[in-house]
Protein backbone atom coordinates (compact mmCIF):
# COMPACT_ATOMS: atom_id res chain seq x y z
CA UNK A 1 0.00 0.00 0.00
CA UNK A 2 2.83 2.39 0.85
CA UNK A 3 4.45 1.88 -2.54
CA UNK A 4 1.17 2.34 -4.42
CA UNK A 5 0.27 5.51 -2.52
CA UNK A 6 3.70 6.93 -3.28
CA UNK A 7 3.54 6.20 -7.01
CA UNK A 8 0.66 8.56 -7.76
CA UNK A 9 1.49 12.27 -7.88
CA UNK A 10 -1.88 13.76 -8.83
CA UNK A 11 -4.02 12.80 -5.81
CA UNK A 12 -5.10 16.43 -5.29
CA UNK A 13 -7.02 16.36 -8.57
CA UNK A 14 -9.57 14.20 -6.72
CA UNK A 15 -10.22 16.84 -4.03
CA UNK A 16 -12.54 19.70 -4.98
CA UNK A 17 -10.91 23.11 -4.85
CA UNK A 18 -13.40 24.42 -2.26
CA UNK A 19 -12.52 21.55 0.12
CA UNK A 20 -8.82 22.39 0.02
CA UNK A 21 -9.31 25.41 2.29
CA UNK A 22 -9.99 23.41 5.45
CA UNK A 23 -12.45 24.17 8.22
CA UNK A 24 -12.48 26.23 11.39
CA UNK A 25 -11.72 24.45 14.63
CA UNK A 26 -10.29 21.12 13.57
CA UNK A 27 -8.81 19.46 10.52
CA UNK A 28 -11.31 18.43 7.84
CA UNK A 29 -11.82 14.88 6.57
CA UNK A 30 -13.09 14.11 3.07
CA UNK A 31 -13.74 10.53 1.98
CA UNK A 32 -12.12 9.68 -1.36
CA UNK A 33 -12.90 5.97 -1.60
CA UNK A 34 -13.92 3.01 0.51
CA UNK A 35 -13.57 -0.57 -0.69
CA UNK A 36 -16.80 -2.51 -1.15
CA UNK A 37 -15.57 -5.29 1.15
CA UNK A 38 -14.66 -2.91 3.99
CA UNK A 39 -10.93 -3.63 3.78
CA UNK A 40 -9.89 0.02 3.62
CA UNK A 41 -11.01 3.63 3.34
CA UNK A 42 -9.10 6.57 1.84
CA UNK A 43 -9.53 10.10 3.17
CA UNK A 44 -8.11 13.51 2.47
CA UNK A 45 -7.25 15.43 5.64
CA UNK A 46 -7.02 19.20 5.29
CA UNK A 47 -5.09 20.97 8.03
CA UNK A 48 -5.21 24.70 8.63
CA UNK A 49 -2.32 26.27 10.55
CA UNK A 50 -2.35 25.22 14.20
CA UNK A 51 -4.62 22.20 13.71
CA UNK A 52 -3.33 18.92 15.20
CA UNK A 53 -4.72 15.47 15.85
CA UNK A 54 -4.86 14.23 19.43
CA UNK A 55 -1.94 12.11 20.62
CA UNK A 56 -2.91 8.62 19.51
CA UNK A 57 -2.06 5.06 18.53
CA UNK A 58 -4.12 3.16 15.97
CA UNK A 59 -6.81 0.50 16.15
CA UNK A 60 -5.87 -0.43 12.58
CA UNK A 61 -3.01 0.00 10.13
CA UNK A 62 -2.55 3.38 8.47
CA UNK A 63 -0.59 4.78 5.54
CA UNK A 64 -0.50 8.47 4.74
CA UNK A 65 1.09 10.73 2.14
CA UNK A 66 1.62 14.47 2.41
CA UNK A 67 0.24 16.13 -0.72
CA UNK A 68 0.63 19.85 -0.01
CA UNK A 69 2.17 22.01 2.70
CA UNK A 70 4.17 20.60 5.57
CA UNK A 71 3.02 18.55 8.54
CA UNK A 72 4.77 17.95 11.83
CA UNK A 73 4.68 14.42 13.23
CA UNK A 74 5.43 14.26 16.95
CA UNK A 75 6.43 10.92 18.47
CA UNK A 76 5.46 9.67 21.94
CA UNK A 77 6.21 6.71 24.19
CA UNK A 78 4.28 5.22 27.10
CA UNK A 79 5.53 6.49 30.46
CA UNK A 80 5.73 4.45 33.65
CA UNK A 81 3.22 6.84 35.26
CA UNK A 82 0.55 5.77 32.77
CA UNK A 83 0.51 8.68 30.35
CA UNK A 84 2.75 9.32 27.36
CA UNK A 85 5.79 11.53 26.94
CA UNK A 86 7.02 13.21 23.78
CA UNK A 87 10.21 11.69 22.38
CA UNK A 88 10.78 13.65 19.17
CA UNK A 89 9.34 15.06 15.99
CA UNK A 90 9.85 15.05 12.26
CA UNK A 91 8.77 17.30 9.41
CA UNK A 92 6.64 15.58 6.77
CA UNK A 93 6.79 17.23 3.36
CA UNK A 94 4.98 16.73 0.04
CA UNK A 95 5.72 13.27 -1.31
CA UNK A 96 6.57 11.77 2.09
CA UNK A 97 4.75 8.48 2.72
CA UNK A 98 4.53 7.11 6.25
CA UNK A 99 3.03 3.96 7.77
CA UNK A 100 1.75 3.03 11.22
CA UNK A 101 0.78 -0.37 12.54
CA UNK A 102 -2.17 -1.15 14.77
CA UNK A 103 -1.57 -0.76 18.50
CA UNK A 104 0.36 1.65 20.68
CA UNK A 105 3.88 0.93 19.49
CA UNK A 106 3.79 3.99 17.19
CA UNK A 107 2.08 6.70 19.24
CA UNK A 108 2.10 10.04 17.48
CA UNK A 109 0.39 13.34 16.85
CA UNK A 110 0.13 14.88 13.42
CA UNK A 111 -0.61 18.46 12.53
CA UNK A 112 0.15 21.70 10.82
CA UNK A 113 2.59 23.92 12.66
CA UNK A 114 3.18 26.06 9.58
CA UNK A 115 1.50 29.09 8.07
CA UNK A 116 -0.32 27.67 5.04
CA UNK A 117 -2.84 24.89 4.55
CA UNK A 118 -1.48 21.33 4.46
CA UNK A 119 -3.23 18.35 2.84
CA UNK A 120 -2.57 14.66 3.35
CA UNK A 121 -4.13 11.46 2.06
CA UNK A 122 -4.70 8.70 4.62
CA UNK A 123 -5.59 5.05 4.03
CA UNK A 124 -6.98 3.10 6.98
CA UNK A 125 -7.87 -0.58 7.30
CA UNK A 126 -11.50 0.13 8.24
CA UNK A 127 -14.90 0.55 6.65
CA UNK A 128 -15.89 4.13 5.78
CA UNK A 129 -18.51 4.11 8.56
CA UNK A 130 -15.76 3.39 11.12
CA UNK A 131 -13.48 6.30 10.21
CA UNK A 132 -14.60 8.41 13.19
CA UNK A 133 -14.52 5.68 15.85
CA UNK A 134 -12.45 2.80 14.47
CA UNK A 135 -9.07 4.40 13.83
CA UNK A 136 -7.52 6.25 16.78
CA UNK A 137 -6.62 5.11 20.28
CA UNK A 138 -6.43 8.50 22.00
CA UNK A 139 -3.70 8.67 24.65
CA UNK A 140 -3.30 10.89 27.73
CA UNK A 141 -0.35 13.23 27.40
CA UNK A 142 1.74 14.03 30.48
CA UNK A 143 1.84 17.70 31.36
**Region of residue 19 (phi > 0: left; psi between -120 and 50: alpha; otherwise: beta):** alpha
- The string of pLDDT tens digits covering residues 106-142 is 999 999 999 999 999 999 999 888 877 778 888 875 5
Would the annotation count 30 as a binding residue? Answer: no
Q: Coil, helix or strand for 17? A: helix
On whether residue 90 sits in a domain, the answer given is: yes
Q: Across the beta sheet with 118-124, what order do the strands follow?
A: 28-34, 41-47, 118-124, 62-68, 97-100
pLDDT of residue 44: 96
Any domain includes 18: no
58 falls within a domain: yes
Residue 48: the pLDDT is 98
User: How many other CB atoms are found less than 10 A from the CB of residue 137?
Assistant: 15
Q: Is 19 domain-assigned?
A: no
Note whether residue 17 is domain-resident.
no
Lowest mean pLDDT among 13-17, 28-32, 95-99, 134-138: 134-138
Burial of 135 (0-12, 13-18, 19+ CB in 10 A): buried
Residue 45 maps to a domain: yes
Q: What is the pLDDT of residues 56-89, one digit of tens each?
A: 999 999 999 999 999 999 999 998 888 899 999 9
User: Does the residue 32 lie in any domain?
Assistant: yes
Q: What's the confidence (pLDDT) of residue 2?
A: 61
Query: Does the annotation place 122 within a ligand binding site?
Result: no
Number of domains in the chain: 1
**pLDDT at 1 (0 to 100):** 57
CATH (domain of 68): 2.60.120.10
Q: Note whether residue 16 is domain-resident.
A: no
For residue 80, what are the contacts with CB-CB under 8 A and spacing of at least 6?
none
- pLDDT at residue 143 in the model: 41
Quote the domain boundaries for residue 51: 2-10+28-138
Is 33 part of any known ligand binding site? Answer: no
Amino acid sequence: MRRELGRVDNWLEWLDEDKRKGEEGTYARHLLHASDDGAFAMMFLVWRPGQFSPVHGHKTWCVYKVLAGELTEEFYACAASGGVRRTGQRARRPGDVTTASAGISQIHRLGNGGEGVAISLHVYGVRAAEISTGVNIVMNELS
